[in-house]
Amino acid sequence: MGQKKQIRADFLSQKRSLSFFSVQSAVAFTLLELMIVIALIGIFFSLVVLKLAHFGQSSRLKAAAREVASTVGLARSQAARYGRDCGIIFDLNNNSYSLILPSKEGFIDPASFSERELTSWRFLPRGVDFAEVLINGERRNQGRVFVRVTSTGFITPHQVRLTIPEGQAFSIEVNPLTGKVTFTE
């Protein structure tokens, strides 16, 4: 019987020495432990900041694509409203675009429209650029590109490609008959 009491006493003493509030446990952290924890927090924080910075550029790219697409929709609605042709002009050198309101004659000549027929120029957000515009099978990456929108809703077939410096691209393709806009990354 004495042997069982001795084993039980040994077990209880070991259990007490492993407990959190034991007299023998450490009361403070060492400097090395604190430095390791601070280094891990710093690494985690830097990863989060880098991810958020990339998220911001990507968001600007998608927002710019939606804004260009809404301008296409606005051009279709203005052409239907006035019963005359409208247009959109993309200035690839300045990363800007504008809606061209219908002329009194109902036909817009891309070579001779006046600045008063333009709505204000809209600029792409900082860091977002026009990579190219594919119009009627021709790739254009500089100069001005004119897209006609007829009063019946037909749009010159075109695709606009936007990029950001990290290499991510977003394309906006417009169905010429329905005006439906398709986004692709």
Tens digits of residue pLDDT in 49-81: 777 666 677 788 888 889 999 998 898 888 888
| Cα 44 from Cα 42, distance rounded (Å) | 5
Written as six digits, the tokens of 69 are 């697409």
* Tens of pLDDT, residues 160-172: 999 988 888 889 9
- For the sheet with 169-174, list strands across it: 138-140, 129-135, 158-163, 169-174, 181-184
Provide the residue range defining the domain that includes 113. 45-184
Residue 97: what pLDDT?
92
Q: Looking at residue 94, what is its pLDDT? A: 92
Of the two residues 50 and 130, the one the predictor is more confident about is: 130
Kindly compute the dihedral angle of the four CA atoms of residues 95, 101, 102, 103, in this order, to the nearest 10 degrees. -90
Question: Taking residues 95-108, what's their average pLDDT?
Answer: 75
Residue 20 forms part of a structural domain: no
- Is 25 domain-assigned? no
CATH code for the domain in which residue 163 is found: 3.55.40.10
Residue 177 lies in a domain: yes
Residue 12 in domain: no
pTM of this structure: 0.66
Residues 50, 64: Cα–Cα separation, whole Å: 22
Count of the separate structural domains present in the chain:
1
